[in-house]
Amino acid sequence: MRVLVTNDDGIFAPGLHTLVEFLSDAFEVTVVAPDREMSAMSHAITVTRPLRVTEYGGFGSKIPAYMIDGTPSDCVKLAVDALSDRKFDIVVSGINSGPNLGTDVLYSGTVSGAIEGVINGLPAIAVSAASAEKPNYYGAALFTVKLVKLVLSKGLPEDTLLNVNVPTFSTDQFPVKVTRLGKRRYINVFDKRTDPRGREYYWMAGDPHDSSEDDDADTEAVQQGYISVTPLHLDLTSDALFKDLQSWSFDEK
C-alpha cells in the first residue's frame, strides 16, 4: 500500500521524520512537504507564482521525498497530479507539533493537507501531538500506523477524513475516544507593540479557551488523556437551515 505523507511544520520537522520512520516499516511511503513551516495556512493554494520542487534525501534512498515552496494543499495537489504516476492509497498529514482541536481545524495546514487528499478521492488522516511543549511523536506515530491499517481495511465514507490528537503520556497503551469537534476560541489574541520608529503594530498570540462541556468533545477527551479521533466531513451545509430556508420568501419587498 502506498502512503503519501505531508505536513505543515515543514520537511525538516521532527514529527514528520518520526512518522515516516514508523510508516515506512509497514508501507511504501512518499513524502511531499513544505520546505519551511506553513502552520495556520488553512487550505491556501499558490496561484500567483510558480511552485518549486526540490528532491530531499533526508529519509534515505528508498523513500522518495520532495520539498515544495508552497502550502500543504499545494504539496498534496502536486504529489497526486504531477510527481507520481502511481496512485496513492491514503494521505497522512502530520505529525503536527501542537494540537488541532475544535474550531482550530479551520485554520490548520495539517488538517487541510488531509482535506486535499479527500478532495482527490483518497482516504486521509491528520495527526497532531496535542502538546507543543512535550510532543508525543512516538505515541502518535505508533498509533497512526495502527489507524492507517484500520482505514485501509475498513475504508472511510466519501468526503470524510479523520482528525487525530495524541496527548502526552508515557505508556504504550492507547486509550482512544471517538469525538466531535469542541468549541475553542482564543482570548487576549493581539499583543499591541511599538517598533523602533514609534509605529504601532500587533502580534497575534492568545491563549486557547475551550467552552465545550460535552464529554464527546475532542478538547475534553485530550484533557482527560485520551487519543481523540474525530471524523470530519467536507460538506459544511447546515441541513436544518437548508430546510428552513426553503420556506423563506426571498422575493418579498
In tens digits, what is the pLDDT along the chain, a chain of 253 residues?
999 999 999 999 999 999 999 999 999 999 999 999 999 899 999 999 999 999 999 999 999 999 999 999 999 999 999 999 899 999 999 999 999 999 999 999 999 999 999 999 999 999 999 988 889 999 999 999 999 999 999 999 999 999 999 998 755 667 999 999 998 776 667 888 999 999 999 988 767 766 666 889 999 999 999 999 999 999 999 998 999 999 898 887 6
Q: Which residue has the cell 495556512?
A: 41
| Residue 218: strand, helix, or coil | helix
State residue 34 phi and psi, 5-degree precision.
-65, 150
16: amino acid identity, one letter: L
Strand partners, 166: 129
2-182+213-245, which class in CATH?
Answer: alpha beta
Which pTM does this prediction carry?
0.92
